[in-house]
């Protein structure tokens, strides 16, 4: 049985946002906005800015809209406020706090004030830690896959992500009745 996390990870690989590729695209990411254009409910303003920067580093604007344009930071805030229980929210916020602590320890400033290269270096380190933790102790979750999952789900379920980054095929599509089988080759099967 495929878990939700494995399905999302497969979607991420399918659309070319695997960990091996996001770092290069993130280096050209737009800098964080000085102020938020929205009011967070579960996050503080500083945490919301951090989520904004991380989301844009994971899915930067290229020839398609980035996470910021798709409203991913707002999605993350709503998810933490609405769907996370107290323990999940605390673990998520502790992960955000760790990012600032690590940034200060490594570079002397909070995460959002670092250069994009320094930010990507920290995110790459978290990605490697998460992979090692998954292989050694699957029951102890690292915070970074949670952030990646929220960004990915938020992006690809947004209107911009679903229509600009993915090929949008409305279901069930156009109705074409009485089409000769010779024109379509074979019939469609449903599982």
Cα–Cα distance, 110 to 107 (Å, whole number): 8
Whole-angstrom Cα distance, residue 177 to residue 190?
Answer: 18
**pTM (2 decimals)?**
0.74
Choose among 118, 174, 123, 122: nearest CA to 145. 123
**For the chain, how big is the Rg over CA atoms in Å?**
19
The pLDDT score that the predictor gives to residue 143 is: 93
CA nearest to 151, candidates 85, 66, 41 = 66
Is the bond leading into 31 cis (omega within 30 degrees of zero)? no
Res 18: pLDDT: 41
Residue 31 token pair: 């800098």
Q: What is the pLDDT of residue 187?
A: 63
* Residue (of 57, 60, 51, 100) closest to 79 by Cα position: 51
Question: Residue 23 has what pLDDT?
Answer: 58
The tens-digit pLDDT sequence of the chain (191 residues) is: 444 445 444 544 444 444 445 555 555 555 555 578 999 999 999 999 999 999 999 999 999 999 999 999 999 999 999 999 999 999 999 999 999 999 999 999 999 999 999 999 999 999 999 998 887 765 567 899 999 999 999 999 999 998 899 877 666 667 777 888 788 777 666 55
Alpha helices, H only, the chain: 4-14, 19-26, 45-58, 72-82, 86-107, 116-136, 143-156, 159-160, 181-184
């Amino acid at each position: 049985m495929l878990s939700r996390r494995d399905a999302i990870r497969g979607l991420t690989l399918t659309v070319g946002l695997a960990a091996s590729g996001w770092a290069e695209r993130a280096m050209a990411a737009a800098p964080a906005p000085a102020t938020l254009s929205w009011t967070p409910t579960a996050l503080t303003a500083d945490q919301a800015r951090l989520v904004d920067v991380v989301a844009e580093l994971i899915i930067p604007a290229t020839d398609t809209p980035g996470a910021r344009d798709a409203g991913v930071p707002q999605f993350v805030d709503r998810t933490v406020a609405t769907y996370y229980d107290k323990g999940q929210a605390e673990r998520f916020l502790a992960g955000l706090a760790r990012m600032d602590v690590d940034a200060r320890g490594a570079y002397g400033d909070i995460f959002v004030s670092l250069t994009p290269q320094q930010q990507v270096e920290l995110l790459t380190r978290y990605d490697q830690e998460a992979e090692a933790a998954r292989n050694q102790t699957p029951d102890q979750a690292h915070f970074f896959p949670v952030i990646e999952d929220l960004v990915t789900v938020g992006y690809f379920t947004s209107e911009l992500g679903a229509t600009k980054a993915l090929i949008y095929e409305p279901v069930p599509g156009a109705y074409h009745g009485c089409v000769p089988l010779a024109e379509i080759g074979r019939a469609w099967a449903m599982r």
